[in-house]
Amino acid sequence: MGHLVLRHLSKRFHKRGIPVLRDLSLSVEAGEIFALLGPSGCGKSTTLNLIAGLLEPDPLPYPGEIWLDGIPLNPLPPERRGVTLLSQHSRLFPHLSVGENVAFGLKMRGIPRAEREAAALGMLERVQLAGFAQRRPSQLSGGQAQRVALARALVIRPKVLLLDEPLSALDANLRQEMQALILELQAETGVTTVLVTHDQAEATAMAQRIGLMFEGQLHQVGSPVEFYQQPRSERIARFFGGVNFFDAQAEGHQLRLNNGILLKSAAPLQGQVRLTVRPEQVQVFPHPPGLADNVFLAQVMAERFAGTQRRLTLQTPWGSLQAWVAPHQVFAPGQAVWIHLPPEALWPVGVGGDPSPPALFPKEEGRV
């Protein structure tokens, strides 16, 4: 199993200090990979430490609760929670061999020596470190050390695996290899996994769902696709790389921009709205595309090759617009082009500040 539920978690480290967590509630399904995403200092790691039992939630404004498969974890010490935490630093015991490091948790649980050694060797093979059992941590690279730490975390078969930015200290290629390895092992073991990261790309690549945090609060919970295509606020859209925003007066499917230009939206809207369209969804053509809606003449102001895409800055009838096109689409500064904004790509992100955090337990709690 491994169904994890957090209710009303709050935490401040000084009585009069600013709260690090503000009444956070969350449900993580058994076998799910869930990413807590957000900038540094937003409370992500504090949440993991509360789950692991390294910190206690504050009793106010609500008594924070942590449940795993219907069992309250608050009264249990860390070693009895069925939870293991892997941080960005491997924290291997330098005086023990790699094999002894992996088997350490089993030894603490009283597993016989032969059994724990066999389990450790098997797990080392699964993390592609067969033959490393006799080495010392000082003989490992950074990526190898993190693989050993991952093997040590998984060999005890936890119900929940907590990953606190475990790949942030690795270079880009190693990080991608470790991402693939973690996904492979998680698929094999089915362990419920909560990943903390500040990297949108990492969260998107690894997690089935993401919870985005700002200042100790969840602001949106959903799939990676929802974050990219349906952000709940301009702040969320910008965090996920949104760069195109404009205001309009909406009436049904018709959007009137401030200069009178009309756009069409796929979904009916009403009143003053703030809109976004992702740069990769803006279609750019050297000739009129023959489409009926949302086609405009524009001019290329700047072009930059970015490997997997070309990034264009366009001057449109309502102002500047960013468009990311395929690398084989070559446009020159000053060139006249036609752009198409697909109606389904126009998404409202509200007016003014961020909305309230999302409702997570409406039936049980009657609140967010």
Q: What is the pLDDT of residue 358?
A: 54
CA distance linking residue 218 with residue 226, whole number of Å: 15
Q: What is the pLDDT of residue 367?
A: 32
Q: What is the pTM of this model?
A: 0.88
Domain 236-348 in CATH: superfamily? Nucleic acid-binding proteins (2.40.50.140)
CA distance linking residue 94 with residue 139, whole number of Å: 10
CATH topology of domain 4-233: Rossmann fold (3.40.50)
CA distance linking residue 176 with residue 27, whole number of Å: 27
**Per-residue pLDDT tens digits for 113-140:** 999 999 999 999 999 999 999 999 999 9
Q: Where in the chain is the domain with CATH 2.40.50.140?
A: 236-348
In residues, how long is the chain?
A: 368
The low-confidence residues of the chain, meaning pLDDT below 70, are: 351-368
CA distance linking residue 153 with residue 164, whole number of Å: 13
Q: Where in the chain is the domain with CATH 3.40.50.300?
A: 4-233
Q: What is the pLDDT of residue 17?
A: 76
